[in-house]
């Protein structure tokens, strides 16, 4: 990156942080919650894109890694004085009963534990490819959830953990999201990122050029799990409670939708996809409410109609952007400056390039 682009990036982050401060101080709790959910889903979507989009490994284990991070935050951030009220069925294990961590440390511990589990899972599983890898990671995700459900002295079992200190602070979650995106951007632009892309394009050619397939696959898988654990921990603080049913395997499909819609192999696409999917589902709730025109009830406006509208919009996006909105492209200041100088000329060049 040139000096100008670095300065513009820093300025952009400062401006966005200013907007986050404005949202925290001026918007109501509902809009703050939607913004925070978009940011958290962006972290988890990017973590999934790291494995599926950049390394080319079809993994469906995000819900399990989210659960690990969420439960670590839930277990270690609940005040010690309130734990008897939470673990009333089975007493909390004495090994962890008196350990209380600040949120930032609990997030890191949850991410590291998720990465460790990913290493243990990835050692045998990453030797598989394609659909077999997807089925195996999906199965391990469910195993993680079942283990959490049955480890009652640690996780409170099916009762879940309540009284987690709630965090609906846009500024805090924005900082976590910004750090994640900056780290992944630096990683993808490094030699490791180029190795990930080489494996995605052709494993045999990458191995012939000296790229260690297992090492880089495992690294991508562990980093993906780490950031999924961070996102899961933030998700727990946003909800204020965690339950095994929050992390069913169907949750993974939301993040798969985000990265497919935004663009497999695009960091910018992960953010766009998370905003479109999360905010879109929230603001389309108007279609679930009854509507009366001239004294007559419109029959289509009933619970569930928003999903019909959302599905139609998704189909339109897939038809017009078959590789996702961003594809494998990224936002760049050079393109932004060129667009600002002459939007018509820029669009003509882009159209000519897309047409071959």
Question: Treating both helix axes as pointing N-terminal to C-terminal, what angle do 333-341 and 3-26 enclose, rounded to 10 degrees?
Answer: 90
First to last CA, the chain: 28
pTM of the model as a whole: 0.89
Number of domains in the chain: 1
| Band of residue 355 on the pLDDT scale cut at 50, 70, 90 | very low
Largest CA distance in the chain: 72
We report the CATH number of the domain holding residue 188 as 1.10.3470
Query: In whole angstroms, what is the distance from residue 42 CA to residue 273 CA?
Result: 8
| Band of residue 293 on the pLDDT scale cut at 50, 70, 90 | low
Once rounded to an integer, what is the mean pLDDT over residues 327-335?
78
**Range(s) of the domain holding residue 143:** 3-354
Structure confidence by residue, pLDDT tens digits, 102-144: 999 999 999 999 999 999 998 888 888 878 888 999 999 999 9
Helices (H), the chain: 3-26, 29-49, 62-77, 83-86, 103-125, 130-150, 152-155, 170-188, 191-201, 203-208, 213-239, 250-262, 267-283, 305-320, 333-341, 343-354
């Amino acid at each position: 990156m040139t000096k100008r682009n670095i300065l513009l990036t820093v300025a952009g982050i400062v401006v966005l942080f200013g907007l986050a401060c404005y949202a925290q101080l001026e918007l109501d709790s509902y809009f703050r919650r939607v913004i925070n959910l978009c940011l958290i889903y962006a972290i988890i979507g990017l973590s999934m894109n790291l494995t599926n989009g950049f390394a080319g490994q079809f993994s469906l284990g995000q819900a399990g890694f989210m659960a690990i991070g969420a439960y670590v935050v839930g277990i270690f951030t609940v005040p010690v004085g309130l734990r008897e009220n939470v673990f009333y069925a089975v007493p909390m294990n004495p090994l962890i009963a008196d350990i209380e961590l600040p949120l930032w440390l609990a997030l890191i511990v949850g991410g590291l534990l998720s990465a460790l589990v990913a290493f243990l899972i990835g050692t045998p599983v990453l030797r598989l490819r394609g659909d077999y890898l997807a089925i195996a990671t999906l199965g391990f995700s469910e195993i993680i959830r079942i283990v959490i459900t049955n480890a009652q002295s640690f996780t409170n079992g099916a009762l879940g953990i309540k009284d987690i200190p709630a965090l609906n602070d846009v500024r805090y979650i924005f900082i976590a999201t910004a750090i994640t995106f900056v780290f992944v951007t630096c990683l993808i632009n490094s030699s490791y990122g180029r190795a990930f892309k080489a494996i995605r394009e052709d494993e045999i050619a990458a191995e012939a050029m000296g790229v260690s397939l297992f090492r880089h696959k495992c690294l991508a898988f562990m980093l993906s799990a780490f950031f999924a654990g961070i996102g899961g921990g933030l998700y727990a603080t946003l909800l204020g409670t965690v339950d095994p049913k929050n992390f069913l395997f169907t949750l993974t499909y939301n993040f798969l939708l985000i990265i497919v819609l935004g663009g497999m192999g695009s960091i910018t696409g992960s953010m766009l996809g998370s905003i479109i999917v999360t905010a879109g589902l929230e603001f389309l709730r108007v279609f679930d409410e009854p509507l009366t025109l001239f004294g007559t009830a419109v029959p289509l406006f009933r619970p569930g109609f928003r999903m019909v509208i959302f599905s139609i919009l998704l189909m339109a996006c897939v038809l017009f952007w078959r590789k996702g909105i961003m594809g494998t492209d990224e936002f760049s200041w050079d393109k932004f400056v060129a667009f600002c100088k002459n939007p018509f000329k820029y669009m003509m060049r882009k159209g000519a390039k897309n047409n071959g």
